[in-house]
Structure 1
């Protein structure tokens, strides 16, 4: 796959879509965790009381809902990948946009809650090494 580089303007223009997809993915993660816990409790309850269903699989609906959420989440992850955007941390909403800065490969860095992309870091520096875009060097 061809490497995609973003300008600062392109990364900022993409933020509304990235924010929406990020929030949807976070919602899917929460919903999946809730359904997983429901399924775990249901199975434990059936084991504890020796309940055997004679009307089909009692877990089928929850498992199907979880499968659908997984497909939906994977679709959003693929969407990030196809755009060239890197989701670094779902929980904190950390997103990187590959870019070239003064001929050097860097990652424009945005975290959920920030208004605009205003930081960058080296390819191997991570969030801890991020700098404001006007602090080159």
Structure 2
């Protein structure tokens, strides 16, 4: 079942959505860094023998697994709230709404103070239109 937001409800969620996006961006960056570090470590141990009885990749792989679980939990929280996370890097989210009698997506992107645009259900970001003053 789709949750529909009023403009006021969606705007009230922006501060928490913004924090969650910033957390996700941080997690994604940390994951990339650990992935790169793991690749370097694997390249090193292709030419060198690891210490006996020790997995040289274990700690990094566990840290990456934890980051992935943490990120998945935040993504799931968007879904549970009915907010559609479209792009982590640009901080793009949509809020399903009824606008002028039509199902639309209120569209917010990181860096914007409030929701000022919407688009049709199938149009995507490129189809954004300015909300008419009411």
TM-score when scaled to structure 1? 0.94
CA deviations 1:33-81 (Å, max 9, x no partner) are 000000000000110x232321321110000000000000000000000
Tell me how far apart the structure 2 counterparts of residues 95 and 80 of structure 1 sit (CA, whole Å): 9
Equivalent residue number for residue 79 of structure 2: 81
Q: Which runs of 5+ in 1 are unaligned?
A: none
How many positions carry a matched residue from both structures?
A: 134
Residue 22 (structure 2) pairs with residue 8 (structure 1):
no
Residue 123 (structure 2) pairs with residue 120 (structure 1):
no
Equivalent residue number for residue 95 of structure 2: 97
After TM superposition, list the pairs within 5 Å mapping 1:1-137 onto structure 2. 2-47=1-46, 49-134=47-132
Q: Which runs of 5+ in 2 are unaligned?
A: none
CA deviations 1:102-129 (Å, max 9, x no partner) are 2210000000000001100000111111
CA deviations 1:72-107 (Å, max 9, x no partner) are 000000000000000111111111000001221000
CA positional deviation for 1:135? 7.6
Aligned residues: CA RMSD: 1.3
Tell me how far apart the structure 1 counterparts of residues 68 and 48 of structure 2 sit (CA, whole Å): 30
Give 3-state SS (helix, strand or coil) of 1:91's partner: coil
Tell me how far apart the structure 2 counterparts of residues 52 and 42 of structure 1 sit (CA, whole Å): 10
TM-score when scaled to structure 2? 0.96
